[in-house]
Structure 1
């Protein structure tokens, strides 16, 4: 299983979270410079021309890119606090890479997130209900950062639902 993990703005995949992910497959986690452009799905995938990803996981700005990539390649996604309303004109790529049905997405939002407004994310998702199969969890105590134990729980649950 090939896992594409996309980190957030001014962040990297920690060794602890990498160890959690590598239990489920080969982890590809590019070092993304978001300074010139926050939305870079095509540039990210261009780095892996011969790799077929089975799942896409992202946190914050990486979750926004993971959302777009998931839709484009037709693969499931696990998204942590995606800022879906920050760049609305860039959410759609010109043409999907594969013909597909609904793409499943598991989304965790922090009710106390000071960076990504969970209400805005929910409003966006509500307008796009027919485009994805969604499972949304809102943690009333969670802020923007995802603690490793919660990350591990969400990753374990995500992979438990996949057939691989």
Structure 2
């Protein structure tokens, strides 16, 4: 299994989280510069559309890109506090040229204490953008902020892959 991990803005995959993901397969974790590339979704689509990617995991801005990429490539996704409802300071263009096939399953983890990307705003986004073919599992963790602690990452990753029967 190949897992594409998309980190957040000015972030990267920590060694501890990489070890967790490696329990489930080969981890592909490109370093992404969202600030200098407003066409990151198109870039990711071009880079991975012909590769055998089985799951996408993204956090924050990586969750935003992961959401659109998963829907385009019809790949299941685990998204932590995705920056879907707003990206005030960082321009990211959702290309109209890539296909929209819809992911079959998305697990969304939102932080009830997240002051960067408010859970309510993400819930509003999903209420307005429900995909007909996608099964959603949306969890709001009341004590979770924007950063995802290793134990929460591990718990949610395990639940995600269990739901996929891997």
TM-score under structure 2 length normalisation: 0.88
Q: Which residue is equivalent to 1:70?
A: 70
Are the counterparts in 1 of residues 76 and 103 from structure 2 also a CA contact under 8 Å? Answer: no
Is the Cα contact below 8 Å between 1:39 and 1:65 reproduced in 2?
A: no
Tell me by how many angstroms 1:66 deviates.
0.4
Unaligned runs of 5+ in 2: none
Change (3 A) 1:140 1:151: same
Count of aligned pairs between the two proteins: 162
Q: How far apart, CA to CA, are the structure 2 residues paired with 1:95 and 1:152?
A: 32
Q: Tell whether the 8 Å contact from 2:58 to 2:65 is kept in structure 1 after alignment.
A: yes
| 1:44 partnered with 2:44 | yes
1:4–1:27 contact (8 Å) kept in structure 2: yes
Distance 1:51 1:135, change over 3 A: same
Aligned mates of 2:135, 2:29 — CA distance in 1: 25
Q: 3-state SS of the aligned residue for 1:47?
A: helix
In structure 1, what is the equivalent of residue 107 of structure 2? 106
Q: Is the 8 A contact 1:68 1:92 kept in 2?
A: no
**Structure 2 CA distance, aligned partners of 1:6 and 1:44?**
10
Native 8 Å contact 1:68 1:91 kept in 2: yes
1:94 match: 97
1:41 aligns to what SS in structure 2?
A: helix
Does 1:20 find its partner at 2:20?
Answer: yes
What's the CA shift for 1:41? 1.6
Unaligned runs of 5+ in 1: none
Q: Distance in 2 between matches of 1:89 and 1:35?
A: 8
What's the offset of the Cα at 1:38?
A: 5.2
Contact 1:108 1:139 (C-alpha < 8 Å) held by counterparts: yes
Alpha-carbon distance in 2 for matches of 1:16, 1:146 = 12
